[in-house]
Amino acid sequence: MSFLSYLINGISLGSVYAIIALGYTMVYGIAKMLNFAHGDIIMVGGFAVFTIVSTMGGSSAVGILVAVVICTVLGVTIEKVAYRPLRGASPLAVLITAIGVSYLLQNIALLVFGSNARQFTSVVNVPALKLAGGELSISGVTIVTILSCIVIMIALTAFINKTRIGQAMLAVSEDRGAATLMGINVNGTIAVTFAIGSALAAVAGVLLCSAYPSLTPYTGSMPGIKAFVAAVFGGIGSIPGAMIGGILLGIIENLAKAYISSQLSDAIVFSVLIIVLLVRPTGILGKKMNEKV
């Protein structure tokens, strides 16, 4: 039974990675940039809920809503101020700016909230599920996390395939120049992508902090990097890939923690990245893109 519970916890952690990885993979697919600050938006979402619920005594629904709004606005602002002026610049410059933004968010949070870990009260009030005569207990947070991941995944796929904005996103990711010629507002589409990605990051932040209730300015950076690993694992740019990669990575991490060494679990997760890049650089569901000269 212990193996099964590790597996379920792994899927739950993996679902959080999957939600974060969705944001990464969408931004990477459409804006062709690695948004390093994505992980720190998770942290901002966590602190927003913490401030509303624990400090100001608001209800958790209000807290989550406010966190989503704050993160969306933040994501769009970052895109407009820091990334948009660099459109057309070298990828190196964009990457360094993204690292700068990530660092800026962390250090502002450090100045505002201090470096001490805050105890995050879970905003998920779902009773634990007892299976197999109480031997296997699945916590409420785990259930909610896995369910929200599935819902988000389905909603996002429908959004991209059925709506005009979604189709515009696909077009921009395929060929930005051609999309512009077809009358698609490229800047607007990229802004929408950032908005969706950041809103997802806020949700991921709430779920992450509910499962692991210690909140510091650095809370988001590690899950952010691991989610990127998940996105690469599943095939960067692919939405089902992000989901599969995230969940597999969560399972690998939890099983490694349980059966190999808890100190080495991060090292094992990152070794997965190197192995994937060595064996199948396009990831599980990635398509090989030929370069045009």
Binding residues for other proteins (CB under 8 A): 33-34, 82, 85-97, 99-101, 103-104, 106-108, 110-111, 221, 225, 228-229, 232, 261, 263-264, 266-267, 270-271, 273-274, 277-278, 281, 291, 293
Strands 136-138 and 214-215: unpaired
- Kindly state the smallest distance separating residue 103's Cβ from other proteins, in Å: 4
Q: Which residues pair with 214 in a beta bridge?
A: 119
- Kindly state the smallest distance separating residue 207's Cβ from other proteins, in Å: 23
Instruction: Determine the number of helices (DSSP H) and then strands (DSSP E) in the chain.
Output: 11, 4
- Kindly state the smallest distance separating residue 106's Cβ from other proteins, in Å: 8
Single-letter code of the amino acid located at 272: V
Place of tokens 């933040």: 74
For the record, the structure tokens of 27 come out as: 């931004």
DSSP output for 59-93: -HHHHHHHHHHHHHHHHHHHIIIIIGGGTTS-HHH
- Nearer Cβ to other proteins, position 33 or 215? 33
- Kindly state the smallest distance separating residue 264's Cβ from other proteins, in Å: 6
Query: Rounded to 5, what percent of the chain is helix, strand, coil?
Result: 75, 5, 25
The Cα–Cα gap between 232 and 280 comes to 10
- Nearer Cβ to other proteins, position 90 or 119? 90
- Kindly state the smallest distance separating residue 22's Cβ from other proteins, in Å: 17
- Nearer Cβ to other proteins, position 130 or 280? 280
- Nearer Cβ to other proteins, position 69 or 110? 110
The Cα–Cα gap between 209 and 44 comes to 11
- Nearer Cβ to other proteins, position 199 or 269? 269
- Kindly state the smallest distance separating residue 63's Cβ from other proteins, in Å: 27
DSSP output for 240-291: HHHHHHHHHHHHHHHHHHHHT-SSSHHHHHHHHHHHHHHH-TT-SSPPPPPP
Q: Give the three-state DSSP class for 136.
A: strand
- Kindly state the smallest distance separating residue 142's Cβ from other proteins, in Å: 26
- Nearer Cβ to other proteins, position 13 or 53? 13
- Nearer Cβ to other proteins, position 163 or 261? 261
